[in-house]
Chains A and B, each alone.
Chain A
Amino acid sequence: MRIFRFVAAALIALSLVAGEGVRAQETQSPAAEEIMRRLQQAFFYAGQDFAAKVGMRLVDKTGHERRRSLTMLRLNAKEGRNQKYYTYFHAPADVRGTAFLVWKYPDKDDDRWLFIPAIKLVTRIAARDNQSSFVGSDFTYEDVSGRDLGADAYKLLREEAMAGRDCYVVESNPKAASAFSRKVSWIDKTSFLPVKEEYYDVQNELFRVFTADEVKEIKGHPTAVRRTMKNLKTGHYTEVVFENVDYDAGLEESLFSERSLQTPPAKWIQ
């Protein structure tokens, strides 16, 4: 009887331990994915819509500086993960009035249109490579509008403090050939914004570093209003400052159309 009880207890204990173990194993990798999903939500999908005036400083290793000023509008689809982006350039002078429209789909190539004001031409541009530079900066299209979640495998490396914030440290490994071989992200445990990201090339050398330099809470959404991407190989870096940030401003679907490329919506382009 006693032995029976002991065996039963042992079996229960064993199953509990095993269960825990299985659960722990199950949670480990989904946890990393869940962190990245929440990062994408906080960093690229916050609010139903988003509007900001974006200032960029492109600085080369000699300190020579170029500037970009643009208005960025974003609208999330009511359902699903599709998004629309509208970008209008204020400066520099040689691109002033240029407008750029992107309909972003998580599962296929984006649709992209470009308006060239000097000849009043709306053209469609091929958008194969999301890792090309966004307007000559150190940021890629992917850095601006997000990388597909399914593109990488994720691993939670550890948890540690970075820049005074408690962070998850997640490694992303691209499933297909990519501009980086791995990326390590420090993700704020409360806001789920990236605090820092390191990009390693195929030789496993660190070549690009992203930092969120200033975070503000706007309409309940923590927002990285100042961020930098530095290329360690070229010494070039780009600092981006978001101003007049607004969420749920009531951007209409019709803003994200060819018509807005031709005639910029004055209400939103300040």
Chain B
Amino acid sequence: MRVRDRSCALLLATLVCAPAEGQVILHGFAQAGYAARVTGATLPSGGGDFLVGEERLQLSLSGRIPAQVGGFAAKADFFHDAVTGKVGLEIREVYLDVGGGTIGARVGRQVITWGTGDLLFINDVFPKDWTALFTGRPLEYLKVGSDALKLTGQVGPVGLEAIAVPFFEPDRLPSAERFFLFDPFPQITRRTSEKPRTDLGNTELALKVSGSLSGWDLALYAHRGYYRTPIMVPDSTAAAPSLLLRYPRRNVYGASARGAALGGVVSLEAGYYDSREDRSGADPLLPNSQALFLAGYQRQLSADFTVGLQYYGERTLRYDRYLSNLPQGFPRQGELRQLVTARLTRLSKYQTWKLSVFGYWSPTDEDFYLILEVWHSLADGVWVSAGANVFGGRSKTSFFGQLDKNDNVYVNLRYEF
């Protein structure tokens, strides 16, 4: 802790002193965010209503590297988690850019976003923080940085992105300490998590080839890596039963297209998830391979009112094998999971107010998730957002249905400088 304090102090001092050099620009924000469950239900773990209670200072430094070499950027968050009383430092991003033009590289911790979905992800295989989404934290916290080497190139009209991520970063999922969740093994409390080892051979690789054809943005994607949501493997050989949480290998191949059509913007995306450790679908603990697809349509209905609709489907392959191997008592997933989403956004008062509604609804799982938000800019750089996350479903085991008791309201206040 003392070492960390000292490093924090050092980093702060560097950040504060840096602008004197002239080459470096300091920005950041101070933010307070709170989210509380309003269902009145008490967690089995004894946790209270507050899902988020934190104060956060982000310092962001960026600048050009002299002699036309490139640039750099760093974002560090100092935060106090009032729910647990913990103080921390989170390095959101630190990267260097070298080159550019025909070929360039971005090296370091960075946020990468691919694909065309709006809060639906097929080819965006990069780490996400679902807890942030479910508790109304500002959108940027949905994305988690990857420690990666990214090469970008431009060959005529074709853009290339090649990414190597040697250090695995899982998705951040709601924890049982703060959320009501479905747990298939409630009796096993001893749990260990095992991330892929940081071996060279475990390096994740991703490739995107993109281009534009008569106003349409087209892209092909490939990824060799891991599922970012762990599977649970019971270990009954030990004296006390325990669960191992691990991340199976996965390859992803996909494509997307997006362009102006039907008086709005149409996007289409598809992907194939190759579950490399269970291609036959025989192992009930491992996910089966899947085919995923998405179609979206966004349209401006009037000057300050926009509507977006999406249809999303994921088809489990080798479904017969899945069915025949599913242990008794486990909830059964359908062969085709479908989701429909709608987003309504209304701006008013010179865009200082934004009302938005985003809803997921699954006709197959019969569950839903609704996000209602009011955002208001108090002055330049100062805004407040307040909203509600509402979950529900017929079954307590489906994706959103399990979150039913976590309906929450939130408020965020931020000053950016």
Contact A119:B143 (CB < 8 A) given known A135-B351, A266-B71: yes
Task: Kindly list chain B residues whose C-beta atoms are within 8 Å of the C-beta of A196.
Answer: none
User: Is A125 positioned at the interface, with any CB of B under 8 Å from its CB?
Assistant: yes
B92-112 interface code vs A (CB 8 A; 1 in, 0 out): 000001001000100000111
User: Is A121 positioned at the interface, with any CB of B under 8 Å from its CB?
Assistant: yes
User: Is A91 positioned at the interface, with any CB of B under 8 Å from its CB?
Assistant: yes
Cα distance A95–B302 in the bound complex, in angstroms: 23
Contact A67:B306 (CB < 8 A) given known A58-B350, A126-B299: no
B376-403 interface code vs A (CB 8 A; 1 in, 0 out): 0101111100000000000000000000
User: Is B333 positioned at the interface, with any CB of A under 8 Å from its CB?
Assistant: no
Task: Kindly list chain A residues whose C-beta atoms are within 8 Å of the C-beta of B32.
Answer: none
Task: Kindly list chain A residues whose C-beta atoms are within 8 Å of the C-beta of B239.
Answer: none
Cα distance A125–B297 in the bound complex, in angstroms: 10
Task: Kindly list chain A residues whose C-beta atoms are within 8 Å of the C-beta of B351.
Answer: 133, 135-136
Residues A102-124 near B (CB distance < 8 A):
103, 109, 111, 116, 118-122, 124
User: Is B267 positioned at the interface, with any CB of A under 8 Å from its CB?
Assistant: yes
Contact A258:B217 (CB < 8 A) given known A67-B380, A118-B139, A120-B112: yes
Task: Kindly list chain A residues whose C-beta atoms are within 8 Å of the C-beta of B217.
Answer: 124, 258
Residues A253-270 near B (CB distance < 8 A):
254, 258-259, 263, 266
Report yes or no: B303 in contact with A109, Cβ–Cβ below 8 A.
no
User: Is A158 positioned at the interface, with any CB of B under 8 Å from its CB?
Assistant: no
User: Is B235 positioned at the interface, with any CB of A under 8 Å from its CB?
Assistant: no
User: Is A96 positioned at the interface, with any CB of B under 8 Å from its CB?
Assistant: yes
User: Is B300 positioned at the interface, with any CB of A under 8 Å from its CB?
Assistant: yes
Q: Which of B303, B379, B380 is A179 in contact with, Cβ under 8 Å?
A: B303
* Chain A residue at smallest Cβ distance from B102: A254
User: Is A145 positioned at the interface, with any CB of B under 8 Å from its CB?
Assistant: no
Report yes or no: A109 in contact with B113, Cβ–Cβ below 8 A.
no
A125-139 interface code vs B (CB 8 A; 1 in, 0 out): 111110111011110
Cα distance A137–B382 in the bound complex, in angstroms: 17
User: Is B359 positioned at the interface, with any CB of A under 8 Å from its CB?
Assistant: no
Q: Which of B113, B264, B304 is A119 in contact with, Cβ under 8 Å?
A: B113
Task: Kindly list chain B residues whose C-beta atoms are within 8 Å of the C-beta of A93.
Answer: 27, 29, 380-381, 416-417
Report yes or no: A126 in contact with B350, Cβ–Cβ below 8 A.
no
How near does chain B come to A138, taking the closest CB pair, in angstroms? 8
User: Is A81 positioned at the interface, with any CB of B under 8 Å from its CB?
Assistant: no
Cα distance A254–B101 in the bound complex, in angstroms: 9
Cα distance A128–B265 in the bound complex, in angstroms: 10
User: Is B356 positioned at the interface, with any CB of A under 8 Å from its CB?
Assistant: no
Q: Which of B64, B264, B306 is A266 in contact with, Cβ under 8 Å?
A: B64
Contact A92:B140 (CB < 8 A) given known A111-B215, A121-B113, A263-B104: no
User: Is A219 positioned at the interface, with any CB of B under 8 Å from its CB?
Assistant: no
Contact A92:B265 (CB < 8 A) given known A133-B351, A258-B159: no
Report yes or no: A137 in contact with B264, Cβ–Cβ below 8 A.
no
Task: Kindly list chain B residues whose C-beta atoms are within 8 Å of the C-beta of A136.
Answer: 347, 350-352
* Chain B residue at smallest Cβ distance from A141: B303
User: Is B202 positioned at the interface, with any CB of A under 8 Å from its CB?
Assistant: no
Q: Which of B142, B210, B264 is A128 in contact with, Cβ under 8 Å?
A: B264
Cα distance A138–B303 in the bound complex, in angstroms: 13
A-B contact count (CB 8 A): 105
Report yes or no: A119 in contact with B154, Cβ–Cβ below 8 A.
no
User: Is B263 positioned at the interface, with any CB of A under 8 Å from its CB?
Assistant: yes
Residues B259-299 near A (CB distance < 8 A):
259-260, 263-265, 267, 298-299
User: Is B228 positioned at the interface, with any CB of A under 8 Å from its CB?
Assistant: no
Contact A137:B350 (CB < 8 A) given known A124-B258, A132-B304: yes
Identify the interface centre among B140, B259, B382: most chain A CB within 10 Å of its CB: B140
Residues A47-82 near B (CB distance < 8 A):
58, 60, 64, 66-67
Identify the interface centre among A93, A125, A236: most chain B CB within 10 Å of its CB: A93
Contact A66:B379 (CB < 8 A) given known A119-B140, A124-B217, A127-B300: yes
Cα distance A137–B27 in the bound complex, in angstroms: 24
Task: Kindly list chain B residues whose C-beta atoms are within 8 Å of the C-beta of A258.
Answer: 159, 210, 212, 217
Q: Which of A128, A259, A263 is B300 in contact with, Cβ under 8 Å?
A: A128
Task: Kindly list chain B residues whose C-beta atoms are within 8 Å of the C-beta of A92.
Answer: 380-381, 416
Contact A259:B350 (CB < 8 A) given known A93-B27, A96-B27, A121-B113: no
How near does chain B come to A118, taking the closest CB pair, in angstroms? 4
How near does chain A come to B298, taking the closest CB pair, in angstroms? 5
Starting from the known contacts A93-B416, A116-B139, A128-B264, 15 additional A-B residue pairs (CB-CB under 8 Å) come to: A92-B381, A94-B414, A109-B260, A111-B215, A111-B260, A120-B111, A124-B259, A124-B260, A125-B265, A126-B306, A128-B299, A133-B303, A133-B304, A133-B350, A258-B217
Q: Which residues of B contact A (CB under 8 A)?
A: 27, 29, 64, 71, 97, 100, 104, 110-113, 138-140, 142-143, 152, 154, 159, 210, 212, 215, 217, 258-260, 263-265, 267, 298-304, 306, 347, 350-352, 377, 379-383, 414, 416-417
The contact sample of 26 A-B pairs, CB cut-off 8 A, is: A58-B350, A64-B379, A66-B379, A66-B380, A92-B380, A93-B29, A93-B381, A93-B417, A94-B382, A111-B260, A119-B113, A120-B110, A120-B143, A124-B217, A124-B258, A124-B260, A125-B265, A127-B260, A128-B264, A128-B299, A128-B301, A129-B303, A131-B303, A133-B304, A136-B352, A259-B152
Please name the 5 residue pairs, one residue from A and one from B, whose CB atoms are nearest each other, closest first. A136-B351, A118-B140, A93-B416, A92-B380, A93-B381
